[in-house]
């Protein structure tokens, strides 16, 4: 089906209207929103001034003081309602994600499903914000931990998961008793407005929420900086490039605020001789080419054992040549890059790879009928003689560097020998190899998978990575602890005052 450009803009306006976004929020503003699908300008969104952003943060701070009084399981009810509203508008929001970011319908819907999943998780968690009871060395004493809300917390998100990342943070932060302030990517304000409208609907159905519990700050880097610098924001969870995280992390450290940093990845997989090669091929193809290489967990480096290298790379090349590149709304597997700058960065990485002795397959511009304003590219498979130059960096585009290895320990050392530490995988049916990979001597990443690609995490596990990926954890497991402060309480229910460590101080 040919995509009519005007139709796309009208579709977007219709979807936003149905979801409940006011027309004033998408018209007459300074922020032009462009669909990567066909380059069409979808809306002009008004931006908040830095001064107004600071005021909004003050209001959220006051709201947090009220919200913390609401019992956690009751707070969970608000997140349950959010999940209900998201279910009701899953198709619409999913479609908007696909239009604004250029994802396939299935991936757009998947992103909203992830939001629903984290809401379900957070509702259950709202009754499980446990602290420990700890044995004390003093008679007639009890020691325990309690977990308390932090205040109004900041969420800065990236373009490529424009709404799921908000929900990972928002659902947990809310049940933990915090107010939330969201600075979405300036490339994706429409899905942010839609998500916020959906949240407002949940709020309307919930009597106990204070005014200003959630704030949306549409704007650029200066607005993000206002959030990072505001003294009433005790925690900022920031998702984006390592360059952004380096600035944000240092600023937060400078005022002793907390940071959850979810930054770039340079993810690798190892294919061993014992691997199920059909499964490995599918796992590699999805992880490397899915979302046009624009996931933080995208597979960017591949180490293949010498004994299977030639045969496996030949199959990969065939997959790269045949994968359908085109309008993602029509179901093509590889959609557009987010913008022209991204294409330029991809081309300069490929040129650098050639200079370093790499053989590049693909990576060329593709013209898509009806989507001439979009930036489409055939994913690139690059056979590299070694791990050098652009292989050491994250280029946010579909480039997979393939290298050969002989000994597993060498492959693991190479996979770890980059500055990022987000996701990793091994394809192997050898128990020793697989266990070694996930052990302390194996992958140094926050995510280490066996017989699964590097991307596509579930919300039940803690998500995040080491080194220049920032060290933060979001989503499942005990990531909620990052959104609360811990107090250790020692209670003396006796009539004497024994001191710890047997210290005496008799007055």
Q: How far is the CB of 345 from ligand NAD (least distance, A)?
A: 10
* Choice between 3 and 152, CB closer to ligand NAD: 152
Q: How far is the CB of 60 from ligand NAD (least distance, A)?
A: 17
CA dihedral 284, 286, 292, 297 (to 10 degrees): -70
* Choice between 38 and 185, CB closer to ligand NAD: 185
* Choice between 210 and 464, CB closer to ligand NAD: 464
- What residues pair up with 147 in beta bridges, in sequence order? 486
* Choice between 76 and 421, CB closer to ligand NAD: 421
Closest by alpha carbon to 265, among 289, 233, 293? 293
458 flagged as catalytic: no
Answer yes or no: are the C-beta atoms of 428 and 437 closer than 8 Å: yes
* Choice between 126 and 298, CB closer to ligand NAD: 298
CA dihedral 151, 157, 161, 164 (to 10 degrees): 10
- What residues pair up with 427 in beta bridges, in sequence order? 271
* Choice between 54 and 138, CB closer to ligand NAD: 54
Interatomic CA distance for residues 321 and 306, integer angstroms: 23
Closest by alpha carbon to 9, among 29, 46, 35? 35
Q: How far is the CB of 494 from ligand NAD (least distance, A)?
A: 49
How many CB atoms are located within 10 Å of the residue 363 CB? Answer: 22
- HSE (side-chain half, CA atoms, 13 Å) at 435: 3
Q: How far is the CB of 423 from ligand NAD (least distance, A)?
A: 9
* Choice between 209 and 296, CB closer to ligand NAD: 296
Q: How far is the CB of 264 from ligand NAD (least distance, A)?
A: 3
Q: How far is the CB of 141 from ligand NAD (least distance, A)?
A: 42
What residue ranges bind ligand NAD (CB under 6 A)? 156-161, 183, 185-186, 220-221, 224-225, 228, 239-241, 244, 247-248, 262-265, 296, 394, 396, 422, 469
Interatomic CA distance for residues 211 and 194, integer angstroms: 19
- What residues pair up with 376 in beta bridges, in sequence order? 366
Q: How far is the CB of 416 from ligand NAD (least distance, A)?
A: 17
- Identified catalytic residue from 47, 85, 100, 262: 262
Strand stretches in 335-422, DSSP E: 359-361, 365-366, 376-377, 380-383, 399-405, 420-421
Answer yes or no: are the C-beta atoms of 368 and 327 closer than 8 Å: yes
Cβ contacts of 432 within 8 Å, gap of 6 or more: none
DSSP 334: B
DSSP 290: G
Q: What separation in angstroms does the CA of 466 have from each of 50, 154, 253?
A: 32, 21, 18
Interatomic CA distance for residues 12 and 415, integer angstroms: 42
Residues involved in catalysis: 262
């Amino acid at each position: 089906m040919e995509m009519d450009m005007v139709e796309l803009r009208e579709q977007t306006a219709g979807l936003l209207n149905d979801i409940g976004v006011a027309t004033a929020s998408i018209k007459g503003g300074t922020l032009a929103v462009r669909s990567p699908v066909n380059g069409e300008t979808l809306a002009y969104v008004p931006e908040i001034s830095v001064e107004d952003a600071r005021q909004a943060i003050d209001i959220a701070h006051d709201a947090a003081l009220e919200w913390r009084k609401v019992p956690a399981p009751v707070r969970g009810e608000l997140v349950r309602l959010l999940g209900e509203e998201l279910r009701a508008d899953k198709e619409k929001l999913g479609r908007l994600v696909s239009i604004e970011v250029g994802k396939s319908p299935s991936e757009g819907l998947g992103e909203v499903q992830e939001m629903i999943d984290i809401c379900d998780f957070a509702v259950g968690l709202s009754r499980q914000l446990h602290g420990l009871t700890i044995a004390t060395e003093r008679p007639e004493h009890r020691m325990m931990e309690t977990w308390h809300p932090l205040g109004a917390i900041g969420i800065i998100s990236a373009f490529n998961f424009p709404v799921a990342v908000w929900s990972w943070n928002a659902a947990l932060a809310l049940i933990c008793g915090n107010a939330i302030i969201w600075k979405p990517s300036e490339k994706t304000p429409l899905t942010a407005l839609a998500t916020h409208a959906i949240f407002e609907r949940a709020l309307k159905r919930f009597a106990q929420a204070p005014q200003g519990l959630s704030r949306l700050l549409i704007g650029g880097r200066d607005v993000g900086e206002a959030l990072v610098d505001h003294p009433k924001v005790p925690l900022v969870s920031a998702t984006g490039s390592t360059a952004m995280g380096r600035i944000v992390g240092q600023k937060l450290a400078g005022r002793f605020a907390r940071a959850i940093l979810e930054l770039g990845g340079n993810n690798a997989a190892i294919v061993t001789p014992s691997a199920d090669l059909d499964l490995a091929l599918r796992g590699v193809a999805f992880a490397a080419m899915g979302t046009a290489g624009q996931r933080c967990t995208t597979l960017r480096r591949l180490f293949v054992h010498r004994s299977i290298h030639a045969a496996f790379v030949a199959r990969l090349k065939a997959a790269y040549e045949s994968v359908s590149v085109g309008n993602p709304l029509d179901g093509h597997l590889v959609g557009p890059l987010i913008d022209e700058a991204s294409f330029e960065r991809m081309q300069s990485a490929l040129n650098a790879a050639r200079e370093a002795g790499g053989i590049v397959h693909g990576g060329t511009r593709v013209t898509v009928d009806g989507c001439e304003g979009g930036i489409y590219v055939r994913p690139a498979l690059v056979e590299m003689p070694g791990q050098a130059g652009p292989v050491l960096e994250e280029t946010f585009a579909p480039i997979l560097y393939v290298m050969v290895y002989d000994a597993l320990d060498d492959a693991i050392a190479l996979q770890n020998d980059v500055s990022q530490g987000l996701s990793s995988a091994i394809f192997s049916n050898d128990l020793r190899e697989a266990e070694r990979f996930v052990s302390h001597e194996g992958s140094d990443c926050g995510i280490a998978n066996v017989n699964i690609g590097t991307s596509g995490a579930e919300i039940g596990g803690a998500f995040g990575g080491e080194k220049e990926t920032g060290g933060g954890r979001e989503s499942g497991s005990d990531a909620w602890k990052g959104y609360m402060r811990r107090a250790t309480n020692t209670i003396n229910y006796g009539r004497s005052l024994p001191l710890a460590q047997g210290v005496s101080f008799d007055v």
